[in-house]
Structure 1
């Protein structure tokens, strides 16, 4: 090895040294070279070139491997009985990361393998004892051919075989064994590797924008680059980027792009191996901050160091995918030949199903670019008859080369702006925006979008980068338009009422576009949205609507999750902020799409019901007129009358209806829904001689449950219910504790399964609660759980707040802390241990952040409920803070 990969010192171990001395010396040699390379890496900062380090590591390992081979099996040679040694896989390529496996192939005739087995075992043992993670295979030429024919992964490893101890004839035999005339001809190899790539991408959700991406196997990772190299080796008999450029398969710009992004990915993987101190390919939260610091990133007011590092990865992975798709097409054309163009209307044609520009000087301006996307939107995409398979590689390259000349909307012509708005109003607008984003056009047209491309937020609430989240929100809006998405109960009914759907698309596009600038991203994004709308010459009212939606895109979610939407005053205040039905419909759809596009786990049936209820109540308030707010007594009367009608329709006689509803707390009619009141009343009618009633029903196709408990009030009741639900694997989204006549409680809980794959059946919940409430409550304790790994990296300073409520006199307890399994059960236990009563609870979780609100009282000696005084507040604060740190009672 020479040049940058050359080692600073010669291999220090004499061949005649005893094995123990050789092992100790080899370990010291590898450790010293690794330490030297790590120091070089650390001194290089964010732009360190790791290619020489990969080669130096391979060179150091070569010395150890060759020395061990010389001690055990000789120098290799000609003839079938003399074994030959080859490096394969990444080691064969001459690239070794600090913790990579060392893959070896011993080429030896099958008849000679038994006699050589003891020395081969000694050879491998020496390497393992020296600290090298060795993987090896012993095969004859025929066995190499057979293994390669039966397993394309074996062939792939041997494609990059490098002789370590072998004469030229041995290398020739190996090449003959895997020759394309013998196994895996180019077309079959290409098809198999392309399918392998697709399946690998699918395992990662077809996106590199995961919070803990796999640097090697994930989409746009190093394995993608290696796959392109393997394909080139088989199809073109060269895997070198320079050679591919010479052959016309890569443009100079594409060559430079792939090399830059490979350097970024290699740097991250090298550093990850150092930080993890073991073979690790997934960039976990455990290592992200340490790796960012090791690479020299520093926090700035607009972005944490770890966010800057991750943005560099996401952008690199996206570019690798983009250029890789073009190269795959060119390999396909190399194998199948150029297809005859099929003319389409306008300036475009199809080449083997790929959309291509006809003119060699396309595109000339932004209008040409938008015409391409309009032509693309006119056809379905996929493998169906008449579908477009994608963008032709030559046209995609021309588009990429035009990016530097693509104007931002503020500098564009009137025709280009009109063409963009036509795309939003045309066919498949969401698909079009997604294509524009992935090809880099959207970031050039709207520069603020480029700023959030690949931008992660180091928390558990946002599981995608900002741009990918935006595309997910747009995809949800497309689902509203198609209808039939069972996740949303009302969205597909609201969608047809929109006057101008493009206003919703623009609001979705801009709602998070100001993330990372500092300040309120909603207000900053609203300014951007207004400027864009004005530049697009939208009517003044439409500009105002989009601006308002962006500024208020969190309003509906916060109102639904943090306030009591059964309170008429809350509904009236929300309706006043919304103002009219059109804005309500747009905001409702945007809110649903935003929550569901933030994390696959964030949207659930309870949030669907909550937003649907808020939408319905607000729509009624707007229809009634904001000058006629609904009074609490009026709301209670309407709810009671509707519940009575539902019971009557169910066959219950009037006397039973009146008697049962009279037993229920009056405030329940103000807070509850008519169907909920009717269901609870029917449960009470079946109570008989029992004093405790538990009823459970499924909501929204069993994706959520409602639990109703009627029981004599006693200390610890709330904690017992919460602990039991937690042990059943149910997460409480909302709890309402109402005091009824005769010192009885009417408690209701909205719950969702912590594991949606294994929800408990309603009857199981009923039986478990009934059994628990039939016995003593004091001994019931929450389940002890290990904190999930990822939560250890997202610690939130706990906050405990108290506010006095006057009607009725209570204390409002507000908690903000790091969420974890069983948190609510532990809080309920603290409240029980403090002798406090819970009258209402609202639970909200945002990624790793829990925000819970309780209405509580202490009990005087005479049994009267009273707000907490300062000593009781401080005692509760101390107990809760201790609980948050793991010291629960």
Structure 2
């Protein structure tokens, strides 16, 4: 393949054959495409002599060549004459352009490359992945060595700059795992974050969690490959109209299965970023003048039984015995959320590995700590996602597996099902003073959509799931019935208030019969608002809130044995 690749036509034909091989995909195809392209470019460069090297950088340097990827190339030279270097560049660039392949190219001496890297973080990151293709290998090796040395020497200054760049990118492109049309490269949890994690590891200051990371990265690359092949375009944006084709190319059931796979990969990458950047911050703080001694003597502040705070994270006390304490994971999670601090990943991994399963039914303490976690406000979101990443959530609630990373194609929804549920619990926490049983409100908020992903109406399916789940959690029969009713009827108030005639006594009576008592009614009222606010800005309004409140007032009157009254009757009584 390489021997015949000097001709653009031969290379193009070989490339088409490779991309058309159905038996070869994923990493083997990307490696084969990189090898094929390397051979062709090496034949174009020919025998350029000493002091000239052709170098792949960026994604091409990493061997992540997708069907429509740019070729990121650096023609490195030791200071040859302008005409000679220009002729070499023409010999390389024009055949690439003639084939319509996008090219990101530069011609530099090692000194010029280092100065460009010093001025541009992206250039610096690209050179960290520099890979020799052809020419003088010593020139490439020397540049790589210097770039790595400069990166490590300047890590205390460069890593904060990289982190701010990742934050700005996330602000512009959003969170990949919640977008219906995600950018696989730029969104948070995407391919650029995988590159950033590699750069952090190269600094030797910190490293990313390895479990699942390579597989998540490979998943996003596989999806991008399929996207390029099915659309024929160099794009990283997975738009709705292309999702069915991409799913079919990857032999997935449907577009929802595709999105869920993408979201799972992005979740792994996002969590790895959270953990890694927290470790970077810890290391950089420890390296500040005067802080090393303070760090060695830093106190471990008690937070709960078996749980302490150390260096800005929630960790296990030295006396903790997770193998003897099944409630310790919940106690640690609740304490972390209440303190607004992240749980340490090593602590979570130890808990996941050592703590025994919760007894069935759960002991009272476990149920109370669970409710405390849910009621801790915004901090509960990050803690919950860390617990989920380490497998603790599904250890407590196996039913969570069906809703994790499940997409919601209704554009009103801004979150996946799992994130929507924890966001609803956070919103419900603002209404706990409105209800007699705050614990039931918070648990109902977390579980109201647990039936999604199951056959039939998700409210009906969810009711059956919650009956079993609530009993396992130790709720008595009466509380279990309330939770089941809340899940079964969590859409009742909003749908009735906005679609039915509230002046019709039969409408109000139907709602009253379904709800059953005023305690469940007030719980549903708070849940309805929390659910809508957690859905997105278009799901709740003053108008909708007023209609729901009116329906609740009328239904409450019926449940208390009073006549709801018509609008005309209320007007006459007011006069």
TM-score, normalisation: structure 2: 0.87
Please list, as runs of the form range in 1=range in 2, the aligned pairs for 1:418-817 lying within 5 A after superposition: 418-425=365-372, 428-430=375-377, 431-432=379-380, 435-440=383-388, 441-460=392-411, 462-478=413-429, 480-481=430-431, 495-622=432-559, 625-626=561-562, 628-630=563-565, 632=566, 635-639=567-571, 642=574
Note closer, same or farther for the CA distance 1:606–1:39 as it changes in structure 2 (3 Å cut): farther
- Identify which of 137, 150, 160 aligns with 1:191: 160
Structure 2 stretches lacking a partner, 5+ long: none
Displacement of 1:176 in angstroms is: 6.0
What is the distance in 1 between the residues matched to 2:373 and 2:42? 66
Any conservation in 1 of the 2:5–2:40 contact (CA below 8 Å)? no
What is the distance in 1 between the residues matched to 2:263 and 2:374? 29
Displacement of 1:129 in angstroms is: 0.6
Displacement of 1:332 in angstroms is: 5.0
What is the distance in 1 between the residues matched to 2:58 and 2:74? 10
1:371 matches 2:356: no
Larger mean Cα displacement after TM superposition, 438-447 or 151-160: 438-447
Larger radius of gyration: 1
SS in 1 for 2:252: coil
Which structure has more relative contact order (CA 8 Å, sep 6+)? It is 2
Note closer, same or farther for the CA distance 1:152–1:101 as it changes in structure 2 (3 Å cut): same
- Identify which of 34, 41, 50 aligns with 1:65: 41
Alignment root-mean-square deviation, CA? 3.0
Note closer, same or farther for the CA distance 1:446–1:604 as it changes in structure 2 (3 Å cut): same
Displacement of 1:224 in angstroms is: 2.2
Displacement of 1:163 in angstroms is: 1.8
Any conservation in 2 of the 1:342–1:349 contact (CA below 8 Å)? no
Query: Higher helix share goes to which structure?
Result: 2
Any conservation in 1 of the 2:176–2:266 contact (CA below 8 Å)? no
What is the distance in 2 between the residues matched to 1:324 and 1:164? 31
Any conservation in 2 of the 1:149–1:184 contact (CA below 8 Å)? no
Structure 1 stretches lacking a partner, 5+ long: 1-8, 15-21, 42-49, 237-243, 299-304, 382-387, 482-494, 646-889
Report the equivalent of 2:213.
258
SS in 2 for 1:107: strand
SS in 2 for 1:265: helix
What is the distance in 2 between the residues matched to 1:397 and 1:470? 24
What is the distance in 1 between the residues matched to 2:452 and 2:374? 29
Any conservation in 2 of the 1:69–1:123 contact (CA below 8 Å)? yes
Displacement of 1:550 in angstroms is: 0.9
Report the equivalent of 1:277.
232
- Identify which of 261, 274, 284 aligns with 1:312: 261
What is the distance in 2 between the residues matched to 1:112 and 1:182? 30
Any conservation in 2 of the 1:149–1:183 contact (CA below 8 Å)? no
What is the distance in 2 between the residues matched to 1:529 and 1:61? 56
Any conservation in 2 of the 1:474–1:508 contact (CA below 8 Å)? yes
SS in 1 for 2:539: coil
What is the distance in 2 between the residues matched to 1:179 and 1:574? 68
What is the distance in 1 between the residues matched to 2:370 and 2:54? 60
Deviations 1:500-558 (A, max 9, x none): 11111111122111212212322222223233333344344332221211111111122
TM-score, normalisation: structure 1: 0.58
Note closer, same or farther for the CA distance 1:351–1:195 as it changes in structure 2 (3 Å cut): farther
SS in 2 for 1:342: coil
What is the distance in 1 between the residues matched to 2:460 and 2:249? 35
Displacement of 1:185 in angstroms is: 0.7
What is the distance in 2 between the residues matched to 1:571 and 1:28? 72
Deviations 1:442-462 (A, max 9, x none): 222011112211122455454
Note closer, same or farther for the CA distance 1:175–1:571 as it changes in structure 2 (3 Å cut): same
What is the distance in 2 between the residues matched to 1:589 and 1:421? 20
Note closer, same or farther for the CA distance 1:212–1:537 as it changes in structure 2 (3 Å cut): same
- Identify which of 123, 133, 141 aligns with 1:154: 123
What is the distance in 2 between the residues matched to 1:584 and 1:155? 60
Report the equivalent of 2:183.
214
SS in 2 for 1:255: coil
Query: Higher strand share goes to which structure?
Result: 1
Note closer, same or farther for the CA distance 1:12–1:600 as it changes in structure 2 (3 Å cut): farther
Report the equivalent of 2:97.
128
What is the distance in 2 between the residues matched to 1:435 and 1:85? 47
Note closer, same or farther for the CA distance 1:574–1:137 as it changes in structure 2 (3 Å cut): same
What is the distance in 2 between the residues matched to 1:454 and 1:294? 21
Any conservation in 1 of the 2:374–2:426 contact (CA below 8 Å)? no
Report the equivalent of 2:3.
11
What is the distance in 2 between the residues matched to 1:401 and 1:258? 20
What is the distance in 1 between the residues matched to 2:387 and 2:68? 35
Note closer, same or farther for the CA distance 1:177–1:437 as it changes in structure 2 (3 Å cut): closer
Deviations 1:196-240 (A, max 9, x none): 22333343444622222222223332322221111111226xxxx
Any conservation in 2 of the 1:91–1:102 contact (CA below 8 Å)? yes
Report the equivalent of 1:35.
20
Note closer, same or farther for the CA distance 1:221–1:396 as it changes in structure 2 (3 Å cut): farther
What is the distance in 1 between the residues matched to 2:502 and 2:164? 51
1:397 matches 2:397: no
What is the distance in 1 between the residues matched to 2:500 and 2:37? 64
Any conservation in 1 of the 2:34–2:60 contact (CA below 8 Å)? yes
1:359 matches 2:344: no
Note closer, same or farther for the CA distance 1:100–1:406 as it changes in structure 2 (3 Å cut): farther
Any conservation in 2 of the 1:366–1:406 contact (CA below 8 Å)? yes
What is the distance in 2 between the residues matched to 1:425 and 1:356? 18
